[in-house]
């Protein structure tokens, strides 16, 4: 008989949560504080008191219509009661807070009491007791005061409460079982979404299915244009029907990857797939009440959210493609928050399409579900080469002294004291003996600074409980509060991969604290532990060992590189190694480079993307070219310093065939752009893409040198040539595409350098006169 594992907390949240969305009363900004609070209470309990008392209860699931049925899944309920005193016949549920418990919303206390009642019901069965008393204890973290709410229950009352809860959850599981049966039936005959597999796609799909079957880890490097999205999603969907896993998360580092996954799922649905797909977005991207606070006092979609959630869930799960537009429509219909609705739908979705933030960030709600609900989750990580850089941002933090001073000007009196304490710590950092006038590095965060950061969050939490509109009406205080919270999250993870950088200018209040995560591999590995299977894939994951190390993948990971599906003559890669583009030589070689690029644009028709290592280098070269006379038949487009313009460029390349687009290598214009056919005829890459030499990258080089003995290669060479590979991958996207690529730099003459580029490229020399 199938079994469904359920925690007491999950059952309580599903059956007994009510009222508004309200984040003001989150027990503590860090998990460590909650644990410490429990320990404080345990020290005052008698010897007969048993902490974290384990309980378990099993029974057949109950369909919506009535009694247990043959074949219904067994519900196995597990958990640990915070405390159980056998002598006093008392079960305790402990919650922490920073305000007077009188101000805690009634719905929060009802939920805590319900969780305690479930524990008590299970203990009463387990120990055959006639009844128990349930105590909900609120601990005020700042004062240490306890506030208790007690209620005595007979065995019959506890049995009825447990039975009613399991009946309700069992009915929901029966509904989900019917939906999954229809899904699995459709998957048995679901065809591949294209008329046939492209060369390499079938083998790629087979490896993905095997990885899921074996609950493994797989790294796939496959050329751009092979059709990786469909090739990994198809076997993952098929594995749902064979019970190899329970749910799929398609995580991507780019919007273009998310769109590709959404389009692929739409094709599967059109082909007969009867499951569903949920797309998660950031809160600010889906909010129906922008500018309002996320609680029932201010937002109508948060007010009474949990009372309307059950009907909204049923409605949403009848929709196959839960894209942001569909989710917003359902949210409006039921007057619920679309962001929270997406998170509450996540445990019941077959496929979740989301940014990597939802899976790997320390603040991600989805990540908590991946590690805590007992389901077998498989993550398909698209454009995996971009995850380390994104993770450095997720696990980093920044705090500016000017921000703290601006927050102080807005803060009420009780908050000013905490902000003054933090400012004193920042002043102490300014008085250190700095290594350079504008930059200073520390291996750790001073303890007094960490303590001041914690005091600030505690003060804000207390003030929020009294004034729910505090942060909404004081933007500087709001920004500083979230910056301080992020600093504290980073401090919880601190290790040798982190460094604190102090930077300042000549202006007053210019001090900034930068908490750098130099290498996020350890944090990524921690997030991966709870996954059933993980498939990471990209066109650029070479060298493989570097990719494995960067992504936190261990030695058990299977790494495979797919052969190119394209004919050798579809892409001509030309080398101009007579131009030295290294930083020290750029001024001297600029006239030669400008002439070379001008002649290339005159000789090679069609749209061309030209990539430079920096915006300044791009502008210098463009000015030198224009001084020689810009080719009249060419339409010039130049990437600005601001990130906007991507859609404008794509539209231009679609409409015209004479565009010369000058871009900076890497980022939105160097990857994630699909330009099939004659939308793009050639690409030029000036340089080898090495990251900028700065103090942060130098610290990273030193860390990699200690770990691997190849600091320069890991910090500069590998990521640089990865960007080159991505840029050249824009040219050939389909079996009929043809194009050219020109690599300009003296270092391309080195076979060791070319060995880091795709092995299926063949090279020919190019000269400025057009002779090859």
pLDDT digits (tens, 9 = 90+) for 497-529: 999 999 999 898 999 999 999 999 999 999 999
pLDDT at 732: 87
The percent of residues above 90 in pLDDT, for the chain, comes to: 76
- Identify the three-state secondary structure at position 249: strand
Strand locations in 443-519, DSSP E?
Answer: 498-503, 512-517
* pLDDT, mean of residues 381-408: 96
pLDDT at 14: 94
Q: Which helix (H) or strand (E) holds 624?
A: helix 615-627
* pLDDT, mean of residues 716-727: 94
d(CA 378, CA 212): 7
Per-residue pLDDT band at 643 (split at 50, 70, 90) = low
Give the least confident one: 363-372, 373-382, 387-396, 454-463: 363-372
Short-list 113, 165, 468, 169, CA closest to 302:
468
Give the least confident one: 93-97, 341-345, 407-411, 556-560: 93-97
- Judged against a pLDDT cut of 80, whether residue 693 lies above it is answered with yes
Q: Over the stretch 147-193, which tens digit does the pLDDT of each residue have?
A: 999 999 999 999 999 999 999 999 999 999 999 999 999 999 999 98
pLDDT at 53: 96
| Non-local CB neighbours of 143 within 8 Å, separated by 6+ positions | none
User: Are 599 and 614 spatial neighbours (Cβ–Cβ below 8 Å)?
Assistant: no
Higher pLDDT: 549 or 31? It is 549
pLDDT at 558: 97
pLDDT at 458: 85
Per-residue pLDDT band at 143 (split at 50, 70, 90) = confident
| Non-local CB neighbours of 375 within 8 Å, separated by 6+ positions | 246, 247, 347
pLDDT at 227: 87
Per-residue pLDDT band at 29 (split at 50, 70, 90) = very low
Q: Over the stretch 551-602, which tens digit does the pLDDT of each residue have?
A: 999 999 999 999 888 888 899 999 999 999 999 999 999 999 999 999 999 9
* pLDDT, mean of residues 205-214: 97
pLDDT at 769: 54
- Judged against a pLDDT cut of 60, whether residue 400 lies above it is answered with yes
2: alpha, beta or left? (left if phi > 0; alpha if psi -120 to 50)? beta
* pLDDT, mean of residues 39-67: 82
* pLDDT, mean of residues 680-693: 94
Per-residue pLDDT band at 122 (split at 50, 70, 90) = very high
pLDDT at 66: 43
pLDDT at 25: 56
Short-list 451, 450, 441, 435, CA closest to 498:
441
Mean pLDDT for the chain overall: 91
pTM of the model: 0.91
pLDDT at 26: 52
pLDDT at 172: 92
Higher pLDDT: 462 or 457? It is 457
- Judged against a pLDDT cut of 90, whether residue 666 lies above it is answered with no
d(CA 231, CA 223): 13
Short-list 393, 543, 513, CA closest to 445:
513
pLDDT at 64: 42
| Non-local CB neighbours of 35 within 8 Å, separated by 6+ positions | none
What φ, ψ does residue 582 adopt, rounded to 5°?
-60, 150
- Judged against a pLDDT cut of 70, whether residue 72 lies above it is answered with no
Dihedral sign of CA atoms 21, 24, 28, 30 in order = positive
**To the nearest 10°, the Cα dihedral for 548, 550, 551, 555?**
30
User: How many beta carbons lie within 10 A of that of residue 619, not counting itself?
Assistant: 14
Strands 397-400 and 739-744: unpaired
């Amino acid at each position: 008989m199938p079994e469904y594992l359920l925690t007491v907390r999950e059952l309580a949240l599903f059956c007994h949560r009510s009222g508004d969305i309200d984040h003001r009363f989150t027990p503590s900004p860090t998990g460590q504080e909650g644990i410490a609070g429990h320990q404080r209470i345990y020290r005052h309990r008698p010897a007969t008191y048993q902490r974290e008392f384990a309980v378990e209860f099993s029974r057949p699931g109950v369909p919506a219509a009535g009694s247990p049925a043959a074949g219904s899944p067994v519900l196995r309920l597990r958990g640990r009661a915070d405390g159980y005193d056998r002598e006093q016949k008392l079960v305790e549920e402990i919650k922490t807070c920073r305000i007077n418990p009188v101000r805690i919303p009634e719905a929060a206390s009802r939920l805590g009491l319900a969780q305690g009642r479930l524990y008590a019901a299970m203990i009463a069965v387990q120990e055959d007791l006639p009844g128990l008393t349930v105590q909900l204890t609120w601990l005020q973290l700042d004062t240490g005061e306890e506030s208790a709410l007690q209620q005595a229950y007979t065995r019959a009352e506890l049995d009825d409460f447990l039975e009613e809860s399991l009946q309700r959850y069992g009915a929901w599981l029966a509904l989900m079982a019917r939906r999954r049966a229809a899904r699995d039936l459709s998957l048995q005959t679901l065809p591949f979404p294209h008329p046939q597999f492209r060369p390499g796609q079938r083998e790629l799909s087979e490896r993905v299915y095997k990885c899921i079957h074996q609950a493994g880890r797989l790294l796939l490097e496959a050329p751009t244009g092979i059709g990786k999205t469909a090739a990994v999603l198809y076997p993952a969907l098929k594995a749902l029907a064979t019970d190899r896993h329970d749910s799929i998360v398609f995580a991507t580092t780019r919007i273009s990857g998310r769109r590709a996954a959404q389009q692929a799922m739409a094709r599967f649905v059109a082909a007969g797939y009867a499951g569903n797909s949920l797309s998660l977005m950031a809160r600010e991207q889906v909010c129906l009440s922008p500018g309002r606070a996320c609680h029932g006092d201010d937002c109508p979609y948060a007010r009474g959210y949990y009372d309307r959630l059950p009907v909204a869930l049923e409605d949403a799960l009848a929709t196959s493609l839960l894209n942001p537009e569909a989710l917003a429509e359902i949210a409006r219909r039921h007057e619920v928050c679309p962001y929270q609705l997406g998170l509450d739908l996540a445990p019941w979705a077959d496929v979740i399409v989301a940014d990597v933030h939802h899976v790997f960030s320390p603040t991600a709600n989805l990540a908590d579900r991946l590690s805590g609900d007992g389901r077998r989750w498989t993550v398909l990580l698209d454009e995996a080469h971009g995850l380390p850089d994104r993770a450095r941002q997720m696990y980093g933090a920044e705090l500016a002294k000017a921000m703290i001073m601006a927050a102080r000007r807005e803060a009420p009196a009780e908050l000013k004291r905490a902000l003054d304490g933090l400012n004193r710590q920042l002043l102490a950092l300014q008085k250190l003996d700095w290594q350079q006038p504008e930059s200073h590095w520390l291996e750790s965060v001073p303890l007094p600074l960490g303590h001041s950061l914690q005091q600030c969050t505690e003060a804000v939490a207390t003030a929020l409980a009294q004034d729910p509109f505090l942060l909404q009406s004081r933007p500087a205080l709001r920004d500083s509060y979230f910056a301080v919270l992020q600093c504290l999250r980073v401090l919880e993870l601190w290790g040798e991969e982190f460094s604190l950088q102090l930077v300042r200018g000549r202006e007053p209040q210019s001090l900034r604290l930068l908490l750098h995560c130099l290498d996020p591999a350890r944090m990524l590995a921690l997030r991966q532990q709870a996954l059933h299977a993980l498939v990471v894939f990209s066109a650029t994951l070479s060298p493989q060992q570097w990719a494995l190390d960067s992504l936190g993948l261990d030695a058990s990971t299977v790494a495979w590189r797919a052969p190119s599906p394209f004919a050798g003559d579809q892409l001509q890669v030309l080398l101009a190694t007579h131009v030295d583009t290294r930083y020290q030589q750029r001024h001297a070689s600029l006239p030669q480079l400008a002439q070379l690029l001008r002649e290339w644009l005159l000789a090679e028709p069609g749209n061309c993307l030209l990539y430079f290592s920096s915006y300044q280098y791009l502008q210098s070269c463009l000015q030198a070219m224009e001084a020689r006379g810009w080719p009249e038949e060419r339409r010039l487009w130049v990437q600005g310093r601001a990130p906007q313009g991507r859609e404008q460029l794509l539209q231009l390349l679609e409409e015209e065939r004479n565009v010369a687009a000058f871009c900076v290598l890497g980022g939105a214009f160097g990857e994630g752009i699909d330009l099939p056919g004659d939308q793009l005829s050639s690409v030029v890459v000036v340089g080898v893409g090495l990251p900028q030499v700065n103090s942060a990258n130098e610290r990273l080089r030193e860390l990699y040198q200690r770990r691997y003995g190849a600091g320069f290669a890991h910090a500069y060479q590998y990521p640089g040539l990865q960007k080159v590979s991505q840029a050249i991958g824009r040219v050939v996207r389909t079996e009929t595409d043809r194009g050219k690529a020109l690599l300009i730099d003296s270092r391309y003459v080195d076979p060791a350098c070319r060995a880091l580029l795709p092995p299926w490229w063949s090279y020919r020399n190019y000269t400025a006169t057009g002779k090859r």
